[in-house]
Homo-oligomer: A and B are copies of this chain.
């Protein structure tokens, strides 16, 4: 199995009968999800996506990626939130957090439109000078401020550089299937378009064209990514937690939350996991953080953060639990060199593989944190492969949906995201927001 949940380190925190007692709630959540009768049931496309995704579009994604790889030095993915995090996370996990600095036969990849920053957009324009560029704008509506501004900038750049005709071949649009201004515009001009499905929310969209096109450009095997997700879809069907690790993870989270463990820290042991942790933070935080409830999602990368947040986790407030994601085979092998001077006293490690030391550091830390009163859930990924990562992504999406239903919220909406936008538009003087503008300005 590609993903395995280890609950052994929870024994001091959760008794056997607690799992039994919460099973009816897991079953209820399971039935809501599978019968599509729960709140947010318009957004369940991701559940069966790994099997029934659009095969024709999938083939077009692969050939567009091939075309992009051949025709540019730099590929810019323009998107924010779910239209950004998944792709970046998968690329960093499977390739490198230093992807743009390693030797490779695929283009450099930059992400734009995920902030409002003169500094970052100016810098990226400078990096692009003298290079061949392709862009992929990813936006359901085409009207979200950050990506829309970036699309204006980089479309203009491409049209100046290549002329309108050639620019067409370098602009790829991922947007609504049929409606929306971006879709209309793309069809009018003649850009190749891909679909943000109606029934898949942003944070569940990494395995649609939203994530897959940039991931494929990076040279990642998206067939294997989908196959991993599909095998997870088949695997995690049983409603009983003893047969379903994704449900068990959801159950554990809800048990711990109700005991006052209100912050969950996702722990990685490699810098390549950092953005996957960010993806997970969006997935769970946006799905569960509503109606005054939800576990606060945080993340660390050990061992580096053992020397920053480690102290807090070991001895600070006891409202925490950790979920440790351990990746079995990273593909790299490196052993500690011997030092005849032994200045650091580490010759007892000479010849030992770093991955073995990392694993032991993980085990030692886990026991130390448990002894400090922090429940630890361990999730093992078999290896650092597209297949295992696809499996893991599905595991987390499913666990998140079930966990949200157990919490009693709609795991598929994000009503709170509108609040800042409304204020921002009003303060920016957008037509239609005049009434609240003055009111807000008085408070600044």
Contacts and interface: CB of A to CB of B under 8 A. Distances in A.
Interface stretch (A14-22, A149-157, A210-218): A149-157
B153 A337 contact: yes
A293 B312 CA distance: 9
A98 interface: yes
Interface in A266-296: 269-272, 278, 281-282, 285-286, 288-294, 296
16 contacts: A102-B126, A115-B303, A117-B332, A117-B354, A119-B384, A262-B319, A282-B307, A286-B309, A292-B316, A296-B298, A296-B316, A298-B298, A310-B420, A312-B416, A368-B420, A372-B416
A290 B271 contact: no
Interface of A: 80-82, 84-85, 96, 98, 100-103, 108, 114-123, 126-127, 142-143, 145-146, 148-149, 151-153, 156, 181-182, 184-185, 202-203, 262-263, 269-272, 278, 281-282, 285-286, 288-294, 296-298, 301, 303-304, 306-320, 330-334, 336-337, 339, 341, 343-346, 348-349, 352-355, 357-358, 360-361, 363-365, 367-369, 371-372, 384, 414-417, 419-431, 440, 443-444
Contacts of A317: 262, 289, 292-294, 296
B427 A156 contact: no
A385 to B, nearest CB: 13
Contacts of A334: 118, 121-122
A360 B116 CA distance: 11
A311 B116 contact: no
Closest 3 CB pairs of A and B: A81-B307, A289-B312, A289-B316
A368 B422 CA distance: 9
Nearest to A309: B285
Contacts of A419: 314, 368-369, 371-372
A244 B12 CA distance: 46
A143 B344 contact: yes
Given A262-B317, A312-B286, A143 B345 contact: yes
Contacts of A108: 101
Contacts of A369: 419-420
A314 B420 contact: yes
A118 B149 contact: no
A138 to B, nearest CB: 12
Nearest to A415: B315
B348 A430 contact: yes
Given A152-B339, A286-B308, A420-B364, A357 B428 contact: yes
Given A80-B304, A281-B309, A443-B367, A315 B289 contact: yes
A330 B430 contact: no
A371 B436 CA distance: 14
Contacts of A422: 364, 368
Nearest to A186: B343
Given A122-B332, A281-B308, A417-B307, A343 B298 contact: no
A142 B343 contact: yes
A440 B182 CA distance: 59
A102 B100 CA distance: 11
A303 B303 CA distance: 29
A119 B308 contact: no
A185 B340 CA distance: 12
A308 B337 contact: no
A411 to B, nearest CB: 11
A344 B151 contact: yes
Nearest to A293: B317
Contacts of A81: 304, 307-308
Contacts of A343: 142, 181-182, 184-185
A263 B296 contact: yes
Nearest to A315: B416
